[in-house]
A = this chain, B = another copy of it.
Amino acid sequence: MELPDGVVDALTDIVGFDGVRLAPGELAVYGRDATPLFEGRPDVVVLPRTTEQVAAVLRLATEHRVPVVPRGAGSNLCAATVPLAGGIVLALTRMTRILEISNEELLARVQPGVTTARLADAAGARDLLYAPDPGSRTTSTVGGNIATCAGGLRGLKYGVTRNYVLGLEAVLPTGEVIRTGGRLWKDVAGYDLTRLLTGSEGTLAVITEATVALLPKPAETGTGVAYFETLSDTCRAVTAILSAGIVPATLEFLDQNCISAVEDFARLGLRQDAGALLLFGDDGPIEVVAGNLVRLRKICTEAGALEVTLAEDVARSDALLAARRCSLPALSRLAPLTILEDVTVPRPKLAAMVDQINEIAARYALRFATFGHAGDGNLHPTCVLDPDDGAAVDRAHKAFAEIFAAAIRLDGTITGEHGVGAAKLPFLADRLGTDQLRLLGRIKSAFDPAGILNPGKVGS
């Protein structure tokens, strides 16, 4: 789009010269996020430092009907932060203060641009745990995590980001500043706007401050790895673990293709003749962790594991977790284009879903690897291919459409933790139905009557 006359000057008045970016190279950078094949181009990038500046930018944008795309680190994988309609990218990456950490109240209050890892480290230094643990934690921001309701490797036991958001300060597209929730674990005064904004992908309001719950840091953590002949065996072990009354912090799996890629990349000494590996971990009081790891080893062995090893020390434990965390970079090396997806199915249907993914991949002659969160049925089927091979890219799009349909048929969903964004908006009606989709549109209008906030995404 063409910005209306005077908008850039007005933005400069609001945030100062150093808060406005217009250079073509910078506009190009903010035209993408971590999602391949999606690209937009903002007319201007604005980097506010205060809530008041955010409010002034949004009032101006609503007045002039200029699109605004709020953005944290841009590590999004569903094109939720790609400025498809141009306009303003509102980058919250200069609002990075940790305003408060309280051991007494078990909470932190932060600005949205703080990275997840920095908050976790600051909490850890006070013997506290910030439980949400997305794979992108070293770069992703807390504001972005909340906007997408990020999950992570501890989701089974600890839940996802929404379970930890106590209160938000947010600016409506029309410029009003609201405060939802607060410092309280229990507060039912009004509709749960805290949770409605969590996961709304920057389409309803711009988060300018968050109060999040912390937990006492567990005394001990422990990790182990089990290798299985097939992924079906792995899934049977997961079911046996949960049916035995154990809900461990971590239950992650890698399929054979993924194991190979990770081993080639990181040389962790993973066994490569297995059809799948299950990474398990727990935390808590020392006696509980030790007991649970032994029980997990026994259950995996009984479920037919080829081999089960408990990490002998923290270094080995970290190495095993790194195997899971580096799955995406490892797969990215296999071909120039990596498309990573995020379907979720009920746990008992995990093996069936992976079978379907492999069948679809074979039928479309595509190279796939799959890893994910076995405990909560959240899979990341990943396709690696050459972006210059247009026919293959087309086949990949068709394959993913079939994968989404298969997940829905299995009582699953098209996105467990990454979000809808622009990438999955075309599939949302299949998941929610048209009545619910229309309702989302009416909710969007209740927040954003001019439709300026992140257009072309959920709610549009």
**Which of A's residues lie within 8 Å of B, judged by CB?**
103-106, 127, 148-149, 151, 155-156, 159-160, 162-163, 172, 176-180, 182-193, 195-196, 198-200, 204, 215-217, 239, 242-243, 245-247, 284-285, 287-288, 291, 344-348, 373, 376-378, 411-420, 424, 428, 431-433, 435-437, 439-440, 442-443, 445-447, 458-459
Contacts and interface: CB of A to CB of B under 8 A. Distances in A.
Given A178-B433, A287-B287, A419 B195 contact: no
20 contacts: A103-B243, A104-B239, A104-B242, A104-B243, A105-B346, A127-B245, A178-B432, A184-B377, A185-B377, A188-B417, A189-B413, A190-B436, A191-B196, A191-B200, A193-B439, A195-B196, A217-B245, A439-B446, A442-B445, A443-B443
A440 B191 contact: yes
B411 A458 contact: no
A186 B245 contact: no
B442 A190 contact: no
Contacts of A186: 151, 155, 160, 344, 373, 376-378, 416-417
A187 B344 contact: yes
B415 A189 contact: yes
B190 A411 contact: no
The 3 closest A-B pairs by CB, nearest first: A216-B245, A195-B195, A442-B446
Contact of A436 (B155, B178, B182, B187): B178
Given A195-B195, A413-B184, A439-B172, A431 B189 contact: yes
A180 B431 CA distance: 10
A288 B288 CA distance: 8
A200 B192 CA distance: 8
Contacts of A419: 188
Report which residue of A159, A187, A416, A447 has the largest number of chain B beta carbons within 10 angstroms of its beta carbon: A187
A419 B187 CA distance: 9
B190 A458 contact: yes
A200 B416 CA distance: 25
A195 to B, nearest CB: 4
Contact of A431 (B106, B190, B245, B377): B190
Contacts of A347: 104-105
Contacts of A344: 184, 186-187
A109 to B, nearest CB: 11
B411 A188 contact: no
B195 A192 contact: yes
Contacts of A195: 162, 192, 195-196
Contacts of A348: 104-105
A184 B412 CA distance: 7
B446 A190 contact: no
B199 A192 contact: yes
Nearest to A427: B189
B189 A432 contact: yes
B188 A416 contact: yes
A417 B189 CA distance: 9
Report which residue of A216, A217, A428 has the largest number of chain B beta carbons within 10 angstroms of its beta carbon: A216
A95 B200 CA distance: 33
A178 B376 CA distance: 24
Contacts of A411: 182-183
Given A163-B159, A348-B104, A439-B193, A188 B149 contact: yes
A232 to B, nearest CB: 15
A189 B187 CA distance: 25
Report which residue of A179, A185, A413 has the largest number of chain B beta carbons within 10 angstroms of its beta carbon: A185
Contact of A445 (B177, B204, B446): B446
A265 to B, nearest CB: 26
Contacts of A345: 184
A149 B198 CA distance: 17
Report which residue of A288, A346, A424, A433 has the largest number of chain B beta carbons within 10 angstroms of its beta carbon: A346
A191 B419 CA distance: 10
